[in-house]
Every structure is written in C-alpha cells, then in structure tokens.
C-alpha cells in the first residue's frame, strides 16, 4: 500500500547526494520525506557492487509513495594527480624551482612524476598548475620533452597523489576514462535516469557518452572547466541538462569570477531549454553543524531566485553529520523564496523566447493562460518529455503535472522545474484526455472543485513531438463528489 505524501509546494527541485551517512533504505526514505526530489549516486567513491542496493532502495520509494523516483549517476571523469614522494610528502617554498616529469622514481623537494602525457602536450610557458584544490600554485617557466620546469608561486605541503588542475590549458584527452566507461555501462544497466559527465571541455566530449548511453538515460554536462565557458552554448546544445559544478570551477578561476559565471550558465541553460542544477558547497557548514550560515542561506536563495531547475547537496547529505536537517533546510529555504511576492518577477529576468514552433508557442501560451485565468495547474500529456521541458522553461507560477505512459520519461522529469510526474496509461481521444486530466489533478491534490486547469497534448495521441492542443477546463463540484479518492476514479 502506498504512503500518502502531499505534492511539493515549491517548483525548484532538491537533489541530494547519497553516501556513507545516507545510503540505507531508512535514510533514503527520510531524505525523500524531508524534501529530496532526486538522488545523486557519486561513482567516484566505492565500487559498483555497493551502488546496487542504493539504487534499489531509491526505486523502492516508487511503490511506497506511488511516485516516480529520479537517479543521477555522476561519473568521476579524468582526475589529474601528481606521483608519489620518497618520504610521502614535501614542503615547497614560494619562489623555488620545481620540476614535473615522466620519471616514475619517487619525488623529492626538486621534482615529482606527472603521469599525464596530455599535460606535456598542452603545456606552455606562463601556464598555471594548481595543486591540492588550488592550495598551491606553480607557474610553468619552460617546457621540455617530458619535463615541465616551474616556479612555485604559492608554496605549501604537497603529499602523494594530490590532485592537479590546469586552468590555462585545453587538454587533448577524452572526457571518459576506462573507469568512466565501465561505470557508465553499469549505470545504464541499473536503469538510472541521468548520467553526469565530469570535466567537460568541449562539445565533442559529450559525443562518446551519448553513443554509449544509447538513449537509455539523459546526459548531463558538468561545467567545471574554464575552457567549457568559451564554448558554453555548443556544449548546452549537445546535452540534456547542465550542472554548475562550482567546486572545480572555483579552483581553476578566481573566487570572484564564479558568481557571474553561475548566472551566465543558468541563463544560457534556461534560454536553451535545458534543466540546470546549481551545485557544490551550498550548505557546506552543515556537514558539521545542524544549522547553516546566513551567507549559505543567501547562496541557496540566489540560485532559486535565478530560476535554477534544481539545487544540490553534496557532502552535506552524503557524509555529513546532519543529512536530514540539510535536506529539510534546503527545502525550507526554497519554500520561503518562492513565497516571496517578488520571486515570480525575478525568475523572469531571464528572457526565454520560444522557438518558432507550434509546441513552443503552446508552451508559452500555457504559462500565460494559467496566470490569466488563475489556473491551479498545467497538465501535459507527453511521451518523450519534450512538452514538459518546454513548459518548464517558461517557469509558470503553477505546478506542471506530467502525464506519461513511459516510466523513463516520468523519472527523468524529476529534475525539471515545477514538475509532478505521473506514470499512467496514454489516452486515445479528446474526451478521454479531458476526463483524465481532471481525474489526475484531483488524485494528485493539485486542483479541487471550481478550479481551472490548462491541458497540453498532441493529436494524434501517442505521437512524440506532436503537441498541438491547448485546452482550459474547469473541475465541477459534481466531479469532486463522484471522485473516489486515490484508489478510485
């Protein structure tokens, strides 16, 4: 028997990362009840076998709550690291010379192995090398065969296998490593809904992932490299969704550059009709504290005001001491922002002009009509999910009920602004469409007697990409009287 839970009152989605603090059946259910709309499985940590029960636990929510669940598998991507040191670590002094080479011999205070041929091919004098999440900075002074001579600009302690960032280079390396290919195949086999590709540099990086996915999941590009910004629109065009991954973006760029870039990425994704997630360090202090800082609350609020489709928790929900409280806090911040009378105007600062197609024209009209007639919801019948994405791009003030015969479409819509997906049989006639829209709006508690709903669909029914019908209906009192509740109608 399903467990009743009211529809989310907010439009922005909450994406929670699962990890040691939250990957049990009980914790996943509690996160969902606290406000998580979708779950991120990080393939960087743990083996594939450990992910199987986690994915099964997320899917088990569908029977318990009677709603589709949404799973995003996040691939690790090509991690760049230095080699090892003879004594495990060294101290680099500011101003000293330091060499990175291809020699696997353990390093010392003068040199260390850099086991990435691609960096030597792309390096040039004056390029920066950032070590250990940017804590140390090296500047390349000379490039020799299999050797980079650098000057230490910011020193510190460097230990074995620390990470390396190269903000001033576009590396001639594939976005998918062998580990990523294996993890991608596993994720597809497990039936996840979204696959996130890390460290995207160029639109071509997405092509192999798209081919390997084979249409069995949606593809999300993580924007965390400065080189991706120069070809942002091309990258967005090639993917199904975008993540503003502020962690590595903030390492490779000055911190003050990240907020305007965040707004630019959100605006570009919204304008091009792709769902966009703002991620990393949103409530970072809640890893250890039961409450966030005021600055973190403002950061989350800014993403909501900018109209992001989803906001994400990372270590806060995966490994922190307060995973439930972190999700509940993010949920409450989003609720408070969306209740602000100014929220609607701020969300529409980004102009999303419709493409010259019937489907786009109807999506814009649905938003405007819903506002004009004070409708309670927009109901869209969709097979592929494209109608729902078009309507979500317009950021209507009412929920979008997504009725689809495909469970995959229902699950993928979990990252869409304002979506409330229902997996249901398709309709075959106009009359059945109207009746079902009313019945489902009642069943899902999105409308009541006397309420209007705006219905979007395509005729002939069941034909993807044929959205051509917009209809306004009123739910009458006798329809509510005849309605039998969740198990009836």
- Catalytic site residue from 8, 51, 222, 389: 222
Contacts of 373 (CB under 8 A, 6+ apart): 452, 454, 472
CB 326 within 8 A of CB 317: yes
* Strand pairing report for 419-423 and 13-18: unpaired
Q: Report the Cα–Cα distance between both ends of the chain, in Å, rounded.
A: 17
- What distance separates the 2 farthest-apart alpha carbons in the chain? 83
Question: Which member of 8, 11, 40, 274 is catalytic?
Answer: 40
What is the Cα–Cα distance from 205 to 203, expressed in whole angstroms? 5
CA 146 vs CA 82, 99, 127, 152, 247: distances in Å: 14, 10, 16, 19, 30
Under DSSP, is residue 39 helix (H, G, I), strand (E, B) or coil?
Answer: strand
In the 8-state DSSP scheme, what is residue 285? G
Per annotation, catalytic residue among 70, 280, 387, 409: 280
Q: CA-CA distances (angstroms) from residue 399 to 10, 14, 425, 445? A: 8, 15, 21, 11
Residue from 118, 280, 261, 268 nearest 198 by CA: 280
Task: Give the integer Cα–Cα distance in Å for 415 and 431.
Answer: 30
Is residue 81 annotated as part of the catalytic site, yes or no?
yes
Distance CA 213, CA 183 (A): 11
Considering the candidates 59, 64, 79, 81, report the single residue annotated as catalytic: 81
Distance of alpha carbon 446 from alpha carbon 135, whole angstroms: 50
Q: How many helices and strands, by DSSP H and E, does the chain display?
A: 18, 21
Q: To which residue do tokens 């997630």 refer?
A: 277
Which residues 6+ apart lie within 8 Å of 25 measured at CB? 57, 60
Q: In what order do the strands lie in the sheet with 377-381?
A: 419-423, 400-404, 377-381, 452-458, 467-474
Q: Is-catalytic flag, 230? A: no
d(CA 399, CA 30): 24
Token digits of residue 257:
């550059």
Please confirm, yes or no, whether 280 is among the known catalytic residues.
yes
Residue 102 appears among annotated catalytic residues: no
- CA distances (Å), origin 329, targets 12, 42, 420, 469: 14, 22, 21, 40
Residue 220 is given by DSSP the state E
**Residues whose CB falls within 8 Å of the CB of residue 379, separated by 6 or more in sequence, listed in order:** 401, 403, 437, 440, 441, 453, 454, 455, 456
Catalytic residues: 40, 81, 222, 280
């Amino acid at each position: 028997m399903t467990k009743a839970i009211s529809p989310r009152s907010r439009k922005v989605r909450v994406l929670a990362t699962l990890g040691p603090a939250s990957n049990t059946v009980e914790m996943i259910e509690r996160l969902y009840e606290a406000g998580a709309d979708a779950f991120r499985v990080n393939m960087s940590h743990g083996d594939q076998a450990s992910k199987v029960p986690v994915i099964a636990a997320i899917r088990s929510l569908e029977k318990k709550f009677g709603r589709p669940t949404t799973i995003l598998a996040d691939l690790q991507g090509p991690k760049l690291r230095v080699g090892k040191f003879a004594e495990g670590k060294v101290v680099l002094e500011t101003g000293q010379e330091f060499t990175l080479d291809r020699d696997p011999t353990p390093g010392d205070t003068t040199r260390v192995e850099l086991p990435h041929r691609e960096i030597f091919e792309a390096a040039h004098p004056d390029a920066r090398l950032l070590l250990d999440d940017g804590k140390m900075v090296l500047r390349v002074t000379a490039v020799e065969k299999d050797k980079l001579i650098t000057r230490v600009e910011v020193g510190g302690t460097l230990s074995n296998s620390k990470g390396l960032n190269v903000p001033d280079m576009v590396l001639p390396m594939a976005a998918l490593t062998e580990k990523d290919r294996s993890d991608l195949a596993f994720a597809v086999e497990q039936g996840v809904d979204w696959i996130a590709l890390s460290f995207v540099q160029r639109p071509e990086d997405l092509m192999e992932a798209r081919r390997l996915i084979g249409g069995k999941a949606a593809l999300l590009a993580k924007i965390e490299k400065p080189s991706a910004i120069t070809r942002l629109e091309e990258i967005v065009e090639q993917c199904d969704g975008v993540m503003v991954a502020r962690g590595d973006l903030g390492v490779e760029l000055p911190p003050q550059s990240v907020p305007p870039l965040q707004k630019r990425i959100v605006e570009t994704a919204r304008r091009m009709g792709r769902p966009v997630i703002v991620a990393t360090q949103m409530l970072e202090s809640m890893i250890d504290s039961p409450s966030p800082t005021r600055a973190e609350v403002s950061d989350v609020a800014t993403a909501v005001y900018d109209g992001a489709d989803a906001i994400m928790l990372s270590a806060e929900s995966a490994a922190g001491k307060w995973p439930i409280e972190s999700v509940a806090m993010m949920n409450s911040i989003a609720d408070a922002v969306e209740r602000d009378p100014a929220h609607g105007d701020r969300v529409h600062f980004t102009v999303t002009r419709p493409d010259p197609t019937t489907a786009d024209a109807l999506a814009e009209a649905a938003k405007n009509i819903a506002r004009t007639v004070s409708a309670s919801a927009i109901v869209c019948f969709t097979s592929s999910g494209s109608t729902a994405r078009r309507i979500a791009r317009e950021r209507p003030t009412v929920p979008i009920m997504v009725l689809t015969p495909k469970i995959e479409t229902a699950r993928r819509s979990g990252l869409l602004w304002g979506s409330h997906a229902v997996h249901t049989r398709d309709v075959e006639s106009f009359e059945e469409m109207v009746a079902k829209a009313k019945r489902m709006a009642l069943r899902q508690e999105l409308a009541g007697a006397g309420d209007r709903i705006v219905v979007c669909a395509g005729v002939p029914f069941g034909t993807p990409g044929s959205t051509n019908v917009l209809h306004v209906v009123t739910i009458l009192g006798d329809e509510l009287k005849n309605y039998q509740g969740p198990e009836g109608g």
